[in-house]
Structure 1
Amino acid sequence: MTTAAATLPEAFRDLERYVADWALPTRQERYDMRLSKPFEELVDFYDAIAPRAEEAIAYLDTLDLNAMSEDATRLLRLLYSLVLVSYAVNVFKQPRIPDSGSAFFDTVAEPAV
């Protein structure tokens, strides 16, 4: 049973509050979310997920990528969002890419999960 209180593997339940916004299935949805958030919320997400990233990767490495449970898939998607948000937080210091105007990238392929 999936509930708001049980959408991630047990060891990562402290990150539940980020699932609704950040465990999105496509890169475009994750990027759109990044653009929709104030910078402070990006920093909050980054500061919560980044310290747990190595632990999450180690956990996910024990699983079969082609047979991942829904809770593990959500954790993987949080990591995908972390990568996307890390540029905004650590490099650009804002949600958008500076001096990019209305430029955008179309994703033509998504990861298998």
Structure 2
Amino acid sequence: MADTRLPSAFAEFEPFAEKWCLATEPERWATRLSTAMPEIREFYDAFTPRFEEAIDYCDKFPLDDIPEDALNLLHLVYSMIMVSMAVEVFGTQKPADSADAVMHRVSAPVP
């Protein structure tokens, strides 16, 4: 299928790919802040059981030569890390008492 983003072994996460396969931390942060908690929770609950498996899959490839579908899966892993704090720690998208919390990076890990 032409519009698949993820490896076939992780096809059940395609419904989350368009929203959560984000290449940069600022994109992931902005998406977390602008997404309702029930939707964040849906992604979290779906991906959690296979999170370690997704990491193991991505670890099979060198970072400087990772296939596009595996890179998208890695971006999904990064998004899972971002939303896990909202679910496991804060219970909301934005940390309480954080005023105008923003993240500014002058560089970011690649990929």
Q: Same fold (TM over 0.5)?
A: yes
Partner of 2:108: 110
Tell me how many residue pairs correspond in the alignment. Answer: 111
Cα deviations by residue, 1:7-33 (Å, 9 ceiling, x for unpaired): 101100110011110001110000000
Look up the match of 1:3. 2
Which of 14, 21, 32 in structure 2 is aligned with 1:16?
A: 14
Q: Where in structure 1 are there 5+ consecutive unaligned residues?
A: none
TM-score by length of 2: 0.95
1:3, CA displacement in angstroms? Answer: 2.6
Matches of 1:80 and 1:55 in 2, distance apart? 14
In the TM superposition, residue 105 of structure 1 has moved relative to its aligned partner by 2.1
- 2:30 paired residue number: 32
Tell me the amino acid that sits aligned with residue 109 of structure 2.
Answer: P
2:70 to 66, 72, 96: 72
Q: What CA deviation, in whole Å up to 9, does each residue of 1:51-91 have, x standing for no partner?
A: 11111111111111110111110000000000000000010
For 2:61, which of 63, 67, 70 is the aligned residue? 63
Runs of 4+ in 1 over 3 A off after TM superposition: none
CA distance in 1, matches of 2:2, 2:91: 34
| Structure 2: tracts of 5 or more residues without a match | none
